[in-house]
Every structure is written in C-alpha cells, then in structure tokens.
Amino acid sequence: MKIALVEPRAPDYNVYTHWMKDLPLLGLPYLGAILKQRGHDVTIFNENIAPIETKELSSNDVVGFSLMTSTAPRGYYLAERLREENPDVKIIMGGSHATFLPHEAEQYADHVITGEAESIIADVAENGGANIIHGKPIENLDSLPFPDLSLIKRYKMPPNMIPISTSRGCPSQCDFCSVSPMFGRKYRFRSAKSVIEELSNYKKINSIFFYDDNFTANKNRTKELLEEMIKSSITPKWIAQAKSDVYKDEGLLKLMKKSNCYALCIGFESTNDQTLKEYKKKQTAADIGECIRTLHEYNIKVHGMFLSEGFYNYHKLGIDTLQLSIPVPLPGSNLFEKVKASGRFLSDRNPLKDAEWWKYFDGGHVVHINDKINPKELQEQTIKSLKKFYSKWNCFKQMIKFKFDTFHLRRIGNKVISKWMKSNRSFMDQLDKYGIKQVS
C-alpha cells in the first residue's frame, strides 16, 4: 500500500521552537520504519520542513496524522480537505492530542490510535479495526527499528543535527505536563549499544539532540552511554534536556565535557521558592543559581526553561538563552481537568470552536484564568520579560564578550518576539473582549 504520515505545522512562538522547526519529531519516523519493513511505500510529510499540498496526500491509500494540541486544528483542516479529494482514503490519527481527546479526533478520521502506536500501526493500516484503538507501551525499546529519517520528504540527509531518543516515560506528575499520562511513570531506557549502533549508521554527524525528557534520569546509565560515545569516537557537539540536579554529579559533568556537551535545556520553571514548592520541584532558587554557575565552569551553555508568572529580568540569572512559557492546561494533564471543571478556559468566553482554539495551546498564549494574575496582564508581562532578555542591548553584550554563538541565538530570539507581537494583535484584543479584568 501507499502510505503517507503527516506532521502538521507547529506554531513558531519562541526561540526553542524556532531552533526545533527543522528537526523532526521521531514518532512518525519510527512508525514509517515499521511500515516500510512490512513492504509498504511510505512517505513522511513534515509541514515544518516543507509545505504540504493535500493533492500530495490524496493519492495515498492510508494517511496518518500525528497531533499535538497546538497542531490539531491544522491536522483537522488537512484531513477534511483530504477527505473531499479522496473519499476512499483511510485516515488514522494519533499523537498526544488524539490520545486524550479521541472522540474529538475521530470526527476527522476512520481510526484513532491512543498511546504508543508502534505495536499496532501495521495492523490498523492494513486491516482497519475499531474507531478508537488503544496502543500499548513498548517495554523493550531496543526491539524497535531505528527511526527512518530518509522517509521525510525534502529532508536533508544526513541532517546537520541528529535527533535521537534514548528513553521514554517520566515518574514525575507535574500538574501542567502530559508526558507521564502519555508514556507512563516508569522510565524505559534503550541500551547504550543500541544508541551507539544507531549513531554509527550516519556517515557524518555534526551535532546530536537527545530528545529525552530527562537525559540524566538515570545518571549511571547516562555515564555508560557517554563512555561508549567517547570509546567509539562519536563526540560531536550535543544537546539534551536535564534536571537542575545534574550539577551535583562531578563525575557526570566531567564525562559531559569530555564527550563534547554543548548545552543543556533545563526546566527550572520558577525563581520563586514558594512556587517551586507548589510545582513539587525538588530545588530552590539557590540551586538554580548554583546549577548555572557550575555548568558554565564546565563550558556547558544553559537554556533556561521557565513558566511565566509575570515580569522577571531573566538576564540577571546568567542563562545563555531563555524559553519562557505561559502555563498551558494540556489535555491529559491534571491542570486540564482542574481548569475544565472550574470553567476557567478562555474558550468558554470565545466564539471560536474548540478545535480552532487549540492552536493557542503552544505555551505562547494565555488560554485560561489563573488565581494570581488576569489573562491580559500575564500575556503582556510574559512578552515584556522576553523582550527584555532578547533586547538588542543584551544581544550586543554577548557580542562584545566574544560569545558569538549566543549573540546569534539571542538575535534570532529578538526577531521571533517581534514577529509574535505583529501577528498576535488580534489575540491581544480578544483578551480584552473575552478575558476578565479581575481574577476570580
């Protein structure tokens, strides 16, 4: 069969998503590799990498969409156009959004797969089944074929940066996160041997991005992997996500430096001790400062990730780049259920259909009323914080310190924020009209 897999376009809100827009998520390359092994003709269309025309999709027998909440409206639109052009095409939807709102997704699809789809994607594509089909977690990640990036249409091979996933799951249960409900609270790790084998398949590696939600979740396992990378002479610049406690393990930091770690993306979340306690983060504001200082001693850059609470001058923390997100009650998270039960979604006051409102669930837009600050003020203060950090003056200060790569990234940030302000004037007006002036 001829099968197309589709990653709809993601919002281009912040520096992080701007960096990542040319890096594909790995869900579809994994599924594509499985379907290819079954003998199917598979093409992956990633709209962040190249535009998609529905005519390109309509010639397929099966089309699968992977949906995040912010990309769901675009995915639904493409599915409707596809159905008009080819009524006989089999449409499958999956991903985190479809997992937690399957009855919404099934309005646009023949089948919705919830959870991890690797174990059942071939059967659903070939034989169909129920409208909603539940996938099962893959216990042995080494059993999966390596994700096939060559299936992505118009994707540069080999890529400048290799995206690679070495684990799934997270034991934390943060109110605002849907990772644990999606992948489970138990960590599942690939072996170091499997990861090295995948990396060895690339003839040239300029850099690596480890996609794990917490690359250092099991520090002994991380050390083993880094030691194998060094032994195998696979030591390009690499980036990963980690928790702030990484700075406490000197042995791990030495291996990171030796294996050429370029930067760590760390979810600090807040600079307020009370807020950190509410978030159940096992860290303090003092820990954050010590983490940043220690990583810089090892020449590792810090991409600080925070949840916005209002204006703050993040530049004074000494982080190299900033990802500042407005708390979003993503479907599947505890926060989503709390906000839904209390009727505090702004969509309740907005004439847009729910399926259209999802595009704002990208961390860049206020979508609900919280207890501390009204929606318009939170939106304005968040943008003010970003403008301050990515100001031309702060960019210039990086250049005079000869930190040219940081200067380049901050200059990108400055342009992204300016673009956001221009393209979201109508959204800001909506906050005046449909938001509330006082916190209830």
Whole-angstrom distance, CA of residue 428 vs CA of residue 422: 10
Tokens 């961390």 map to which residue? 363
Look at phi and psi of residue 56 and say left if phi exceeds 0, alpha if psi is from -120 to 50, else beta.
alpha
End-to-end alpha carbon distance in the chain: 55
Which pairing describes strands 167-168 and 188-189: parallel, antiparallel, or unpaired?
Answer: antiparallel
| Half-sphere exposure (Cβ direction) of 262: Cα atoms closer than 13 Å | 14
List Cβ neighbours of 270 (8 Å cut-off, separation of 6 or more).
Answer: 276, 279, 281, 306, 307, 309
C-alpha 290/C-alpha 248 separation (Å) is 9
Q: Which residues of 16-44 are buried (b: 16+ CB within 10 A; e: fewer)?
A: bbbbbbebbbebbbbbbbbbbeeebebbb
Give the gyration radius of the chain's Cα atoms: 22
Identify whether the C-beta of residue 44 lies closer than 8 Å to the C-beta of residue 5: yes
Check residue 184 and give its pLDDT. 80
The answer for 162, left when phi > 0, alpha when psi is -120 to 50, beta otherwise, is: beta
**Cis status of the peptide bond prior to 181, with omega within 30 of 0:** no
Given this model, what pLDDT does residue 279 score? 79
Helix (H), strand (E), coil (C) string for 118-185: CCCHHHHHHHCCCCEEECCCCCCHHHCCCCCHHHECCCCCCCCEEEECCEECCCCCCCCCCHHHHHCC
| Distance from C-alpha of 231 to C-alpha of 199, rounded to nearest angstrom | 13
Q: Could you give all domains of the chain from N- to C-terminal order, each with its CATH number?
A: 2-134 (3.40.50.280), 141-426 (3.20.20)
Residues 349 and 435 sit within 8 Å (Cβ to Cβ): yes
The CA-based angle 77-81-84, given to 5 degrees, is 145
- Please report the pLDDT score of residue 430 as a whole number: 80
What's this model's pTM, rounded to 2 decimal places? 0.94
- Binned average pLDDT, 10 residues per bin, the chain of 440 residues: 95 63 90 98 95 92 96 95 96 97 97 98 97 96 98 93 94 79 87 97 94 94 98 97 95 98 96 86 91 98 95 96 94 92 82 73 91 89 96 94 92 90 86 54
Structure tokens of 263? 């930067």
**Running DSSP on this structure, what letter comes out for residue 345?**
B
Q: How far is the C-alpha of 66 from the C-alpha of 10, rounded, in Å?
A: 12
In the numeric block, which tokens belong to residue 212? 């794990």
- What pLDDT is stored for residue 437 in this prediction? 46
Burial class (CB in 10 A: 0-12, 13-18, 19+), 140: exposed
